[in-house]
Amino acid sequence: MFAIAARRMGYRVHTFSPGNDTPTGQVADVEINASYHDLEAVRQFAKGVSVVTFEFENVPAATAEAASEYAPVRPDGLILHTTQHRLREKTFLAKNGLPVTPFRPIHCLEDLRAAVKELGYPAVLKTAGFGYDGKGQVKISSVEQAESAFGSVPLQEMVLEAFVDFQSEVSVVAARDLNGVFAHWGVIENRHCNHILDISIAPADVSSKVYDQAIKITRTVLEKLNVVGLLCVEFFLTQGGDLLINELAPRPHNSGHFTFDACVTSQFEQQLRAVCGLPLGSTQLLRPAAMANLLGDLWQNGEPNWSAACAYPEVKLHLYGKPIPNPGRKMGHLTALAHSAQSASEIVRAARAALLVEQ
Ligand SMILES: Nc1ncnc2c1ncn2[C@@H]1O[C@H](COP(=O)(O)OP(=O)(O)O)[C@@H](O)[C@H]1O
Ligand SMILES: [Mg+2]
C-alpha cells in the first residue's frame, strides 16, 4: 500500500526483504531478495535509493545502521531498536512518564514467580521480541500454567503484564515530518479476535477528554522518539476511563488502513511525504469508516465470494497478493464508508460475511 501511494506520486520504489514475490515486490520497480543479515546486500541496496523506510519493525538494528551509511533511514534505526523489543519499549515509555500497562521483566523462572505475586492473576506473558498478531503471548491464571508456558520458551527474554480488563481498545496513528510538524487521524476503535485485530472503526466513540489525552500522549511519544515518518500507539481504555499504552508500531498500522479510502491523505501517502521531506497532507476524514480484516481462514472452503462483498457499493476490497491463505494470516481487508461509524461497522461485517455465501 505504501508502494502504491509512492508510485501514484511518481516515485520509483525499491524493496528489500527475505521474501520473493512479496506484496510490495509486486508493485515495486525493484525487488531485492536477501537476508536482513546480509549487510553487504543491504549496503548495495541503500546505494541505489534516496531514502530508506520500513513497514515491518523486526528489521534488525544492524541492518538499519548499514543502510544509513548510504541513505537516510526514516524513522531512525534507533526507533526500530526501541520498539521491536517490548521491554525496551515499555521502559522507554515509563521513563518518560507515559502511562503503560503494569509490567515486569522476566529472565528466569524466579522472576516469573515474583512477578505474578506482584501483578496478580490473570496476567499476560509475552516474548520480548518478535511478537505480532498475538504470536508469542499467553494469558495465564496459575503458576503451573505460567511455568508450562514459560518452559516452552525458556531461552528468551520475556515480559509479564497485568491483564487489563479494558472497556475498549483504541489507537492513534500519527505522522511527523522533518520539521517536527505533527499530524494524526484522530482516535480509532479496535476490536480484536483471538488477539488479532478484527475490526477498526473511525471515529472512535470516546469522550473529548479521552480523545485529547490520547492525542497528547501520542504526540509526546513521536516527539520523544524524534520520529520522522509514522507511528501508531495502541491503547487500552480502562473501565475507569484511563488510557494505558499497550504497544507502539513505528510504521503504517493495520488500524489505519481505512485512511486509504476514507481520508484526504492516507497513512501510506503520509509516510511517503514525511520520509521524502514533503509537507504533510490533510488527515481529514471524508466519511465515517470501518475496516474488517480478511484472514486466511476465509479461504477454508475455497475462494471467497468476492462478487458478494463487492455488491455493497460503499465497500472497498483490498487484497495484498500473499500467496498462501494460512489460518490467522492477514490476506487483505474491506473498508466500508457510511453516514456513521456504527453503520460503517455493520456494513463491513455484512460484506465480510457475504464472502462465505456460496457462489
Ligand atoms: N495485558 C493485556 N491485557 C488485556 N489484553 C491484552 C493484554 N495484552 C494483550 N492483550 C490482547 O491481545 C492483543 C494483542 O496483543 P499485543 O500486545 O498488541 O501484541 P501484538 O504484537 O501481537 O499485536 C491486544 O490488542 C489485546 O486485545
Ligand atoms: Mg498489538
Residue range 120-179, pLDDT digits in tens: 999 999 999 887 777 888 899 987 787 777 665 555 789 999 999 999 999 999 999 999
Region 204-230: mean pLDDT is 98
User: Does ligand 1 lie within 6 Å of residue 161's CB atom?
Assistant: yes
Determine the Cα–Cα distance for residues 209 and 177; give it in Å rounded to an integer. Answer: 26
Outline where 226-263 has alpha helix (H).
259-262
Mean pLDDT of the chain: 95
Best of 246, 248, 255 for a ligand 1 pocket test (most atoms within 8 Å of beta carbon): 246
Distance 69 CA to ligand 1 centre (A): 36
Mean pLDDT of all residues in 291-296: 98
Q: Which atom of ligand 1 is nearest to the CA of 234?
A: 18
Q: What pLDDT was estimated at residue 163?
A: 97
Q: Which range has the worst mean pLDDT, 1-10, 156-165, 221-230?
A: 156-165
The residue whose C-alpha atom lies closest to atom 26 belonging to ligand 1 is 195
CA of 234 to the centre of ligand 2 (A): 7
Would you say the CB of residue 116 lies under 6 angstroms from ligand 1? no
Cα–Cα distance, 41 to 35 (Å, whole number): 8
Nearest-angstrom CA–CA distance, 283 and 176: 12
Could you tell me if the CB of 211 is within 6 A of ligand 1?
Answer: no
> Does ligand 1 come within 6 angstroms of the Cβ of 261?
no
Residue 216's φ and ψ, nearest 5 degrees, are -65, -45
HSE-CB at 5 with a 13 A cutoff on CA atoms is 21
pLDDT tens string 249-288: 999 999 999 999 999 999 999 999 999 999 999 999 999 9
Q: Is the CB of 136 under 6 A from ligand 1?
A: no
Q: Percentage of residues in the chain with pLDDT exceeding 90?
A: 88
Q: How far is the CA of 232 from the centre of ligand 2 (A)?
A: 10
Q: Which atom of ligand 1 is nearest to the CA of 136?
A: 22
Q: Whose CA is nearest to atom 24 of ligand 1?
A: 195
Whole-model pTM: value is: 0.97
Considering Cα of 192, then 225, then 10, then 265, what sign does the dihedral take? positive
How many angstroms does the Cα of residue 247 sit away from the middle of ligand 2? 6
Cα separation, 178 vs 278, whole angstroms: 8
Is the CB–ligand 1 distance for residue 160 below 6 Å?
A: no
pLDDT at residue 135, rounded to an integer: 80
pLDDT at position 223? 98
Q: Is the pLDDT of residue 199 over 80?
A: yes
Phi, psi (deg, nearest 5) at residue 15: -125, 145
Distance between CA 158 and CA 109 in Å, rounded? 11
Q: Where are the alpha helices (DSSP H) in the chain?
A: 2-8, 39-47, 61-67, 77-83, 86-95, 109-119, 143-152, 208-225, 259-262, 267-275, 306-310, 341-354
- Predicted local distance difference test score (pLDDT) of residue 109: 81
Q: Is the pLDDT of residue 56 over 60?
A: yes
- 14-31 mean pLDDT: 96
Residue 195 beta carbon below 6 angstroms from any ligand 1 atom: yes
pLDDT of residue 136: 83
Residue 44: CB partners within 8 Å, gap ≥ 6? none
Indicate if the alpha-carbon torsion angle 254, 259, 261, 262 is positive or negative.
positive
